[in-house]
Amino acid sequence: MIKSEKYFLLTFVGIWIAALLFLLVVGKVESHLLLNSYHTDILDTFFRYFTQVGGWVPCAVAGVLLVFKKWRVAVVILAGQLTATLITTPLKRIIRAPRPSVVLQELGIQFPTVEGVDLHTTLSFPSGHTSAVFAFCFAMAIFCPKWWQKILCLLVAIVGGYSRIYLSQHFLEDVLAGSVVGIVAVLILMPLAMKLKTIK
């Protein structure tokens, strides 16, 4: 079952390990400042809206798919969102990590902000938006027949995860953890997804 998603998963693992090494070498705060250093008005607008691919977008897409009777994909998307939430929410409340806005302000470090985005202060680890977008994109990838479509799904997930850093809502470590939660959430559902794919 997992072998069929090797393009998505192997690419994900490679990028994840590279990002983790970057985090370990550079550090939590320094990596955030580096990844968050370049802002433009166009990017501000783009990421302010694109970050919702880990918000309301998955449920909206599932709703549209249900309307067009693509219920198999919709079921896996919604189940993935629910599973990711059930994993992420308890972890957030147990760890209760501060958000970048709090940590950077305590260190006296100024950082770019995006107009119209309210910065959260608590429950940073893991990133809920990131777990949602990775669960969403992995679920979509399962039903994509071409390898490049699967990679495209992964790229959407990565950009969605990065949006949380760009908006200073999360550190890189939060995003890395959230991405794993999203992938694991769908892997748990893989037998269901594979069975649904075979239903005519």
Render 166-194 in DSSP notation, one character per residue. Answer: HTTSS-HHHHHHHHHHHHHHHHHTHHHHH
Alpha carbon separation from 179 to 68, 125, 173, 185, 196 (Å, rounded): 29, 11, 10, 10, 24
pTM of the predicted model as reported, rounded to 2 decimal places: 0.94
Q: What is the pLDDT of residues 88-142, one digit of tens each?
A: 999 999 999 999 999 999 999 999 999 999 999 999 999 999 999 999 999 999 9
Asked whether the beta carbons of 61 and 77 are under 8 A apart, the reply is yes
Task: Judge residue 16's burial from the number of C-beta atoms within 10 Å of its C-beta, 0-12 exposed, 13-18 middle, 19 or more buried.
Answer: middle
Joined together, the tokens standing for residue 119 give 């910065």
Q: What is the pLDDT of residues 138-158, one digit of tens each?
A: 999 999 989 999 999 999 999
Asked whether the beta carbons of 171 and 184 are under 8 A apart, the reply is no
pLDDT category of residue 1 using cuts at 50, 70 and 90: low
Q: What is the CA radius of gyration of the chain?
A: 17
**Could you give the 3-state DSSP secondary structure of residue 121?**
coil
Q: What local confidence, expressed as pLDDT, does residue 199 receive?
A: 62
Q: What is the pLDDT of residues 19-31, one digit of tens each?
A: 999 999 999 999 9
Task: Calculate mean pLDDT across residues 190-196.
Answer: 75
Asked whether the beta carbons of 72 and 199 are under 8 A apart, the reply is yes
